[in-house]
Structure 1
């Protein structure tokens, strides 16, 4: 297991690029409020050091042999014009953050000649350097395409995207669309765009779901051990270090798969349950609470929506006198109930939590987050990870 700091960024040399302005035109110029999912990421990006550049995402697609640069640029143009979130800017206003869909403009395509360097190595190195650059989301479009060439012929394309424009699921949608365009395959009609989703969130149905979600969170937060609500250390300030861990283990992957098959629980639920149980034991509490990120794509219109769509679910569980399989099955049922209560305005949730914590004599502070990134790891930029493959 290795520990990293969200504030320490190692200096990454920037490769030399040629630049090509890619013009696009959609005729769809509009402004509107952020969706609940966009608002959640907007606030996180402003809370993180470095303007949230650590959340920038990247996807790679290899270019079929014989594809010309002009054809590749045409595929990129179609992709940009297809998904509004790829040509949207985000602004703070007196009425709160707003999104501006840009109807026409240019995307800067970076072109990098890699010579004899292996594509995997070049793609990983270039993607890391471009991802490290923060987006000025009020000025920049949230997309940086990079074309890798060998002897001037394109061999791979990288898309570096702000988390305000995509989550893990929609990044895969974008990657799949790009691959189809490069193969000259037809695409289905584009899905709902973020501004349409924002309009849905003003409807009676959406507000009803929000009320149920907030009521569920209130019930869970009131029952959560106070230690799971309060700060773990000194008051947050500019000097606060953000830490996360990463563990890679083929043995753990095999054990998780085995438990998943025995219990019928999804593999991510097995890891979530085990993490919560370990946290409860290590803190001496009867149970633990974790926030886990959920892609709230419950409506057919949202299944292929490209945009920031993740919101938090509250997962509360503790060990009992039961078998491991019984514990995992109980966790599966809790997880499903938690997932059903994840559609809400995050700026209503956080003050509610702070109020509950205050009444319990606790200053609401840090929380434990659980983010299942297996979906993203399976589409990583560089060579495949043996441990991930074993899972």
Structure 2
């Protein structure tokens, strides 16, 4: 193996805070810690015949000079994380023997090996390069891209530009970079857009279910480290693809909208809610100047769909506007959004658990080679018998409990579900995938009640539904008593203007720090600590052990 150096100098340099998209992925990378190589994206690009290794290195040089993101480092600082674009420096290209005439899968396996090592974002640029040689010339260009450097849209930009450069073409200049985007977001129109998103999320989060996992988890799951706690399965279903196209045509929407509705309906029905709350992955590249920019632009968008009644097809027809609203408000300053979450959690007395996601990464909305059918329900059901569900992978940690995503294949639907087996054991994950397929297939020729999209989880006696939340009343009593440092009882009060509401009767010593409703509520909210089985009372009455009333109020 040898190393070729690609030098650059005399280019623009500078430093700014992160763009909002960069900050969003920075948080996720920091959260994963030593496992952050999960966010490294490998690619294997075949080198067209007739090229020399020197020409491949020249193509890499053109990309490095063209895109500031490929010359950027990232680091934490006293004022938060920042990006620094380097105007002078060098990137390294490893050149090594391919070890044979490789297939794409074999070349990608070598790229994956390079991706299994984390990036040191403060010291190295966010893309690695290797050229695999065979029969005296370059056969494959391997790339490993840190998600901190760019999102999947940017990777498609890279792939398109590589094709053009290998063909000897010329590229139009890029005139907008992450440095420019960061400055745009700090003032004027950009900052106003972020504030509007924060206001939208704040209004919405005060009303919707705080979690789709407000039911008992598998016993003992926190007491042991499980390397396969988070499991991803894939549904391979030509029937679901045929059905999705039929429904999309009839409802005049995209197949992506149909799949999103299915993912939302299934988790809402399973968790016993009539409103689905999912986060979508917003690309945030609607403006022309962002189309060719390498950089991390994606953030989470808040999607809410009412599913209190009606058919699945009616839900599909309703889904478009909520999804557009979600994307409209999917661009914001992540630390400010964290503050919104903190404020809503305090005011509502809940731990927000927005851990359900949907992402359609297909570049084509329709399939090109679906099986021929006569359109009858019998043939569609027969086609569904060919569907398979297979295991894809498992991980000890993820920041989602329910993540549905779709990828493209010309003749079938590839629908993935990654889920937390503490709440959704592997057999349930498979059943939920098949429930989505059933919902699609049966809705083509019949009216399927959206509330019956999946079998609802069974909650033990003592669980109560209030304020769009399920909770274990016994667990709430224990939590309030522990937070107060005294005794507590909890009742659902039916009287009053705001009824029904959760009322806590608390007994503490007069000198206790929690003898004040505001102090007690802060202690209770702190004790929620991400739990989805409890909520804070809406009202506190605090008495002495002798029964004298010390104070009462909401604590908000």
| TM-score between both structures, scaled by the size of structure 2 | 0.62
The answer for the alignment partner of 1:42 in structure 2 is 26
Q: How does 1:147-162 map to 2 (within 5 A)?
A: 147-162=131-146
SS of the equivalent of 2:122 reads coil
Higher mean alpha-carbon deviation, 207-216 vs 181-190, is at 207-216
User: What CA distance in whole angstroms lies between the structure 2 residues aligned with 1:231 and 1:213?
Assistant: 30
Cα displacement (A) at 1:351? 2.1
Higher RCO (C-alpha under 8 Å, 6+ residues apart): 1
- 2:317 is the counterpart of 1:317: no
Cα displacement (A) at 1:268? 2.3
CA pair 231-280 structure 1, distance change in 2 beyond 3 A: closer
SS of the equivalent of 1:293 reads strand
Higher mean alpha-carbon deviation, 289-298 vs 351-360, is at 351-360
Q: How does 1:108-127 map to 2 (within 5 A)?
A: 108-127=92-111
Cα displacement (A) at 1:235? 11
Cα displacement (A) at 1:129? 0.6
Structure 2, gaps ≥5 residues long: 368-405, 414-556
SS of the equivalent of 1:224 reads coil
User: What CA distance in whole angstroms lies between the structure 2 residues aligned with 1:36 and 1:386?
Assistant: 26
Contact in 1 for aligned 2:69/2:149 (Cα 8 Å):
yes
Match of 2:280 among 289, 292, 296: 292
- 2:375 is the counterpart of 1:388: no
CA pair 26-132 structure 1, distance change in 2 beyond 3 A: farther
How many pairs are equivalent?
368
CA pair 321-368 structure 1, distance change in 2 beyond 3 A: closer
Pick the structure with more strand per residue: 2
CA pair 265-388 structure 1, distance change in 2 beyond 3 A: same
Higher mean alpha-carbon deviation, 358-367 vs 89-98, is at 358-367
Match of 2:291 among 268, 286, 303: 303
- 2:233 is the counterpart of 1:246: yes
CA pair 261-112 structure 1, distance change in 2 beyond 3 A: farther
Query: 1:132-173 CA distances to partner (integer Å, 9 max, x unpaired)?
Result: 111010011111012122123112212211001110101000
Cα displacement (A) at 1:30? 1.0
Give the CA RMSD over aligned residues. Answer: 2.7
The answer for the alignment partner of 1:85 in structure 2 is 69
| TM-score between both structures, scaled by the size of structure 1 | 0.87
- 2:174 is the counterpart of 1:190: yes
Cα displacement (A) at 1:305? 1.3
SS of the equivalent of 1:19 reads strand
CA pair 237-45 structure 1, distance change in 2 beyond 3 A: farther
Contact in 2 for aligned 1:58/1:158 (Cα 8 Å):
yes
Contact in 2 for aligned 1:253/1:388 (Cα 8 Å):
no
CA pair 231-207 structure 1, distance change in 2 beyond 3 A: farther
Query: 1:252-293 CA distances to partner (integer Å, 9 max, x unpaired)?
Result: 333323322322322222222111110110001111211111
Cα displacement (A) at 1:125? 1.1
Contact in 1 for aligned 2:361/2:407 (Cα 8 Å):
no
The answer for the alignment partner of 1:348 in structure 2 is 336
The answer for the alignment partner of 1:221 in structure 2 is 205
Contact in 2 for aligned 1:280/1:318 (Cα 8 Å):
no
Query: 1:33-63 CA distances to partner (integer Å, 9 max, x unpaired)?
Result: 1000000000011112435211111333221
Contact in 2 for aligned 1:24/1:104 (Cα 8 Å):
yes
Contact in 1 for aligned 2:281/2:301 (Cα 8 Å):
yes
Contact in 1 for aligned 2:73/2:84 (Cα 8 Å):
yes
The answer for the alignment partner of 2:86 in structure 1 is 102
CA pair 40-145 structure 1, distance change in 2 beyond 3 A: same
- 2:359 is the counterpart of 1:338: no
Structure 1, gaps ≥5 residues long: 1-16, 379-384
The answer for the alignment partner of 1:260 in structure 2 is 248
The answer for the alignment partner of 2:11 in structure 1 is 27
| Higher Cα Rg, which structure | 2
Query: 1:223-251 CA distances to partner (integer Å, 9 max, x unpaired)?
Result: 11133487986999995876252313132
User: What CA distance in whole angstroms lies between the structure 2 residues aligned with 1:186 and 1:77?
Assistant: 14
